[in-house]
């Protein structure tokens, strides 16, 4: 079975540029999560969707960040304009439901470097 697929795996760009990260969840999973991981702050939840609807975006750092889920098999996280402090590894995860007893299946992440 295919797991969560993220692209690109690595992204290096200059500050001010728009960055789009992509995620394909596991088929049949109704919940999708976007996380950011840094050494200083660990793994932080940015936003999550249930049945393609954003449920909680309180973790989104600021208006430069936006996320969409146009259908059950695709989501994007966009940063515009990007800044050096956005450099991190961004993970997408999916689960059957948002409940904590359900395991979350993570992709391998996108390592983002903003110069």
Partner 1 sequence: TQLLEQSPQFLSIQEGENLTVYCNSSSVFSSLQWYRQEPGEGPVLLVTVVTGGEVKKLKRLTFQFGDARKDSSLHITAAQPGDTGLYLCAGDDSGGGADGLTFGKGTHLIIQP
Residues at the site binding partner 1, with contacts judged by CB under 8 A? 4, 33, 35, 41-45, 48, 50, 55-56, 91, 93, 98-101, 103-109
CA distances from 8 to 20, 40, 42, 77 (A): 9, 23, 21, 12
When the beta carbons of 22 and 105 are compared against partner 1, the nearer one is 105
Q: How far is the CB of 92 from partner 1 (least distance, A)?
A: 8
Q: Which of 68, 88, 89 is nearest to 78 (CA)?
A: 68
Taken as a whole, the chain contains a residue count of: 115
Cα–Cα dist 64/60, whole Å: 9
Q: Which is nearer to partner 1, 14 or 101 (CB)?
A: 101
Nearest-approach distance from CB 73 to partner 1, in angstroms: 18
Instruction: State the minimum distance, in angstroms, from the CB of residue 30 to partner 1.
Output: 12
φ/ψ of residue 101, rounded to 5: -75, -15
Q: Which is nearer to partner 1, 33 or 65 (CB)?
A: 33
């Amino acid at each position: 079975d295919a797991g969560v697929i993220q692209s690109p795996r690595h992204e290096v760009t200059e500050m001010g540029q728009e960055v789009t990260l992509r995620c394909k969840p596991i088929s049949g999973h109704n919940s999708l999560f976007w996380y950011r991981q840094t050494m200083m702050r660990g793994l932080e939840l940015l936003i999550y969707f249930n049945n393609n609807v954003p449920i909680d975006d309180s973790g989104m750092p600021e208006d430069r960040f936006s996320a969409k889920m146009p259908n059950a098999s695709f989501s994007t996280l966009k940063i515009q304009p990007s800044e050096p402090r956005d450099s991190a590894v961004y993970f997408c995860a999916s689960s059957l439901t948002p409940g904590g007893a359900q395991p979350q299946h993570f992709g391998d992440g996108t390592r983002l470097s903003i110069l």
